[in-house]
Amino acid sequence: MANLVAHTVIRNLAAGYDVRGEGIAGVEKPLRFYASDQVHSCHQKALETLGLGAKALVEIASDDRQRMRLDALQAAIAADRASGLQPACVIGTAGTTNTGAIDDLSAIADLCEREGLWFHVDGCIGGVLRLAPDHAHLVNGIERAGSVAIDPHKWLHAPFEAGSVLIKDAQAHFETFEMHGPYLQLQERGMAAGKFLADYGLELTRGFRALKIWMAFKEQGAAKFGRLITRDIALARYMAAQVEAHPLLELFAPVDLNIVCFRHVAADEDAAKFLNTEIMLRLQERGLAVISDTTVQGRHGLRCAFNNHRTRRADIDGLLADVLCIAEEIKTEHASQRAHLADGPAP
């Protein structure tokens, strides 16, 4: 929802006419939004919902650290302009869902200034890194964005769900959503005094989501959240070191934040996908760990994201031991099956 709200504001500004009154049929040049090929799928869904279509999202190739390539971005913008399309926005990601990669936000901000484009940051994972002094530099440039989406239910430990969006142009934000029926009239006093929050988003009736975030800050404080972020990143790096030290385990993506993509080695890619998927399923079914699987640049494996303040190094050691044990179990099962097949049918 946070990204959808931001994209609605961006669409209405970039269109250059009264989209609320005329609808998107009046767009003379189709709008284009640019993001890395690692961007979260919610952006495509948002642009489809806004009537711009999936083609409005142009995915730019990422480098070997899963960061958007600026040369490819510049080339795509130039090519679209030459084709009669209208570049509108560049989406920088501060922590991809797959690996935790962070785009070069300062460089993207420079490009957006040169090209006259809106700069939006999907900071749903890493947008709060500013709270952690040791890692705040990783999101340098985020302050230059026109809008930033943040998920407090991740590194601010808020209960599900809690999405937030910050938009610099308050007037554009207001004009995108403002609407008052005769039953919603502002007053100088009483319940209807002040701003209507419905004028800044899609929902009219909604829960008091901000309360749990405010209470968390009052109870824990920003500095404590920063320490928890630093601790999660340290745990991810510890796990990465343990994986790299074991001959049967390997990383298949760099570790930049709190996400570790690793796998048990196998003979080839097909075998690796089968083995690691089965490891994941047995871990889940036995109640040992809740980890996911993913594919990064054609390589499939396991994905761990550290967000729980109760996680300890001993938990990581236990998880890796379980992974190795289950892998041996699977190999033994398949060796037995192969031996059975080699024996042929019973006479």
- The answer to whether residues 1 and 202 touch, using CB atoms and an 8 Å cutoff, is yes
Can you tell me which residue has the tokens 């190999």?
A: 331
Which DSSP helix (H) or strand (E) runs through 259?
strand 259-264
- pLDDT tens track for 207-258: 888 999 999 999 999 999 999 999 999 999 999 999 999 999 999 999 999 9
Residue 335 has pLDDT above 90, yes or no: no
How many structural domains is the chain composed of? Answer: 2
Q: Which residues pair with 261 in a beta bridge?
A: 303
Both 83 and 147 in one domain: the answer is: yes
Collect all residues with Cβ–Cβ distance below 8 Å to 326 and sequence separation of at least 6: 278, 279, 282, 283
Q: Which of 170, 193, 219 is the last residue of a domain?
A: 219
- The pTM is what? 0.92
- pLDDT tens track for 262-309: 999 999 999 999 999 999 999 999 999 999 999 999 999 999 999 999
Both 182 and 253 in one domain: the answer is: no
Q: Which of 166, 195, 219 is the last residue of a domain?
A: 219
Helix extents (H) in the chain: 2-15, 19-22, 42-49, 70-82, 105-115, 170-177, 209-220, 222-245, 269-285, 313-343
Both 170 and 45 in one domain: the answer is: yes
Both 202 and 256 in one domain: the answer is: no
The residue count of the chain comes to: 347
Count CA within 13 A, CB hemisphere, residue 189: 0
Mean confidence (pLDDT) of the chain: 94
CATH number at residue 140: 3.40.640.10
Both 184 and 203 in one domain: the answer is: yes
Both 235 and 189 in one domain: the answer is: no
Confidence of residue 105 (pLDDT cuts 50, 70, 90): very high
CATH number at residue 252: 3.90.1150.170
Both 205 and 335 in one domain: the answer is: no
Q: Which of 199, 219, 239 is the last residue of a domain?
A: 219
Q: Which domain range does residue 197 map to? A: 2-219
Both 191 and 289 in one domain: the answer is: no
Both 167 and 229 in one domain: the answer is: no
Both 208 and 232 in one domain: the answer is: no
Q: Determine whether 73 is exposed, middle or buried from the number of CB atoms within 10 Å of its CB (0-12, 13-18, 19+).
A: buried
Both 109 and 182 in one domain: the answer is: yes
Helix (H/G/I), strand (E/B), else coil: 85: coil
Helix (H/G/I), strand (E/B), else coil: 288: coil
